[in-house]
Homo-oligomer: A and B are copies of this chain.
Amino acid sequence: MGNKNYTIKDIARMAGVSAGTVDRVLHNRGDVSASSLEKVRKVLDEINYQPNMFAIGLAAKKRYSIVCIIPYYMAYDYWYAVAGGIDRAAQELAPYNVTVNYIHYLHADEDSYRQACTQVLGEECDAVLLAPNFREETLKLTSALERKGTPYAFIDFNVEQTNALCYIGQDSRMSGYIAAKILMRHFREGQEVALFLNNQKQSPAEIQMQRRLEGFMQYLTENHVGLAVHDVVLDKQDADANRRTLDRFFDECPQAVLGVVFNSRVYQVADYLHATGRRMENLLGYDLLKRNVERLKTGEVDYLIGQRPAMQGYCGVKALCTHMVFKRPVTAMRYMPIDVLMKENIDFYFEFE
């Protein structure tokens, strides 16, 4: 195989033209005679020319700018962790003239999301890392980006029917399946299951929860036909309403001692249990928010499923760079490991590095 690294000079020599001409046809910026073009094309067809990325980066004085569109966050919550991973990648890539900037939006707020999408099109950037929210807005953005030839990648949630460079996140369905498996680990006859759900059906994150639920139900269908499963709908904010809901539920369904919360607010249920002194046999939730971890340690929560937010951010930025800066192929789907955290191993868990 021709594993030699050809340079532009090599090609120029082989084609009997100058390096400048080769460069012109490579970047088809015109002003090349038909005959020259022909000669260079011929050589290029025969060899496998791979431009030296170091030389490109150095000569072009090219600065790469990546914009990350993610929700606003507070210290130690989910998106805070994502941003941490992004920052780490940014630092690592700074020597390659890569700079990373953020555009934040209010999670599940359509106006805010639309505004973020509009803003990114205004700025000049070479690649976009997007934590998508509303489908329609997202599609508008991605097609605009495609028109501009700007590569983009999704993290956390995948929007199908786009041409994203890659998606990095968890296999939600599978994580639901595992949730069921773990929850049902110590199942004993007569026990029932509680699914704690959202009441904001319009939220885009709802789809992710839906997928988790699907996986969860699949496991039950396969292994526990006839099991009693209760839906308990909680509000994102209204603690009083939730307390009443839970009071009623636990009074009415004393057998429901196995519980799952498909959003990241298992602490809502756990705090209630903590306050009332009630106990469930097995309560499982998602994401290592501080409040969740506290309840894992105090024992109201038995399992937390982690989805490596920092690694998602890190890998997202890196993926865009391997494509854009290093010109190397990128895996289109990158599923994060499904970490299972318990009281016992939470202290020794650290996501990355």
List residues of A whose CB falls within 8 A of some B CB. 5, 50-58, 94-97, 171, 174-175, 178, 181-182, 185, 335, 337-340, 342-345, 348-350
Contact in complex: B54, A95 (CB < 8 Å): yes
Contact in complex: A95, B52 (CB < 8 Å): yes
Contact in complex: B97, A54 (CB < 8 Å): yes
User: What are 11 A-B contacts with C-beta separation under 8 Å?
Assistant: A50-B95, A52-B97, A54-B56, A175-B348, A181-B343, A181-B344, A182-B344, A182-B345, A185-B344, A337-B349, A340-B344
How far apart are A97's CB and chain B's nearest CB, in angstroms? 7
Residues of B within 8 A of A55 (CB): 54, 58
Q: Give the copy number.
A: 2
A345 touches which of B53, B58, B340 (Cβ 8 Å)? B340
Which residue in chain B gives the minimum CB-CB distance to A51?
A: B95
Contact in complex: B348, A171 (CB < 8 Å): yes
- The CA-CA distance from A108 to B343 in the complex, in Å, is 36
| In the complex, the 8 A-B pairs of residues with the closest C-beta atoms, listed nearest first | A54-B57, A54-B58, A53-B95, A181-B344, A338-B348, A340-B345, A54-B54, A182-B344
Contact in complex: B96, A53 (CB < 8 Å): yes
Q: When A54-B58, A54-B97, A94-B50 are in contact, do A348 and B344 touch as well, CB less than 8 Å?
A: no
